[in-house]
Chain A
Amino acid sequence: QVQLKESGPGLVQPSQTLSLTCTVSGFSLTSYNVHWVRQPPGKGLEWMGRMRYNGDTSYNSALKSRLSISRDTSKNQVFLKMNSLQTDDTGTYYCTTLGAFDYWGQGVMVTVSS
């Protein structure tokens, strides 16, 4: 059974760094890509970046200077780190496989506030 589950702090202070973990099961990170997608409250979906099956990464150009995605295949985990957080980074963050093999986590709500 394929599952993705996001975890991380619900509250982050402005200017600080967000660290999220996506723990997957039911498939191998060396076979499928994992993406991060976010959604501000009441708004649409924004693609943030991707960890490819071969370890390569790509990022949304609007976030590239602040964003880093990495993984630990032995733990079946993909990590997102984004620095210099501001209030408009508040939202729900999802990890997903996208594409024909398409599964999503439940999302984790992150609030940026002092």
Chain B
Amino acid sequence: DIQMTQTPSSMPASLGERVTISCRASQGISNYLNWYQQKPDGTIKPLIYYTSNLQSGVPSRFSGSGSGTDYSLTISSLEPEDFAMYYCQQYDSSPPTFGAGTKLELK
């Protein structure tokens, strides 16, 4: 199985700050990488698919990039509703696997 290493595991940040979350795959995944946001009530919201494509309705302050084994999610200016858990997920090969998550916390 492909292992996804997500860093950092937690990140204190301030409103308006620009933040980047990283995700490294144990082997190349050809850009087959999604990002998800999870709120404390368990609701999971898809943010980005195929490395850099925003899901419908996702604000443009979210962006994704990367290639090969290294990928990242950037939020350009944090809003109050952005403080949540974030997960990357690869779907290059089965089984699809997730990173362990990054908790974005208010500083």
Residue numbers of A with Cβ under 8 A of B are 35, 39, 44-47, 58, 60-61, 92, 94, 96, 98-100, 102-104, 106-107
Contact = CB atoms under 8 A, between A and B. Distances in A.
Given A45-B89, A98-B34, A99-B91, A104 B97 contact: no
B42 A106 contact: yes
Contacts of A104: 43-46
A106 B41 CA distance: 9
B99 interface: yes
Interface string B89-107: 1010011111111000000
28 contacts: A35-B96, A39-B42, A44-B87, A44-B99, A44-B100, A44-B101, A45-B101, A47-B95, A47-B96, A47-B98, A58-B95, A61-B95, A92-B42, A96-B44, A98-B34, A98-B89, A98-B91, A98-B96, A99-B34, A99-B49, A100-B50, A102-B34, A102-B49, A102-B55, A103-B46, A104-B43, A104-B45, A106-B43
Most buried by A among B43, B49, B95, B97: B95
A96 B43 CA distance: 12
Contacts of A35: 96
Chain A interface mostly helix, strand, loop or mixed?
loop
Interface string B27-62: 000000010100000111110011001010000000
Contacts of A92: 42
B10 to A, nearest CB: 13
Contacts of A45: 36, 87, 89, 98, 101
Contacts of A107: 42, 44
Contacts of A61: 95
Given A60-B95, A61-B95, 7 more contacts: A44-B99, A44-B101, A45-B36, A46-B98, A58-B95, A94-B44, A102-B49
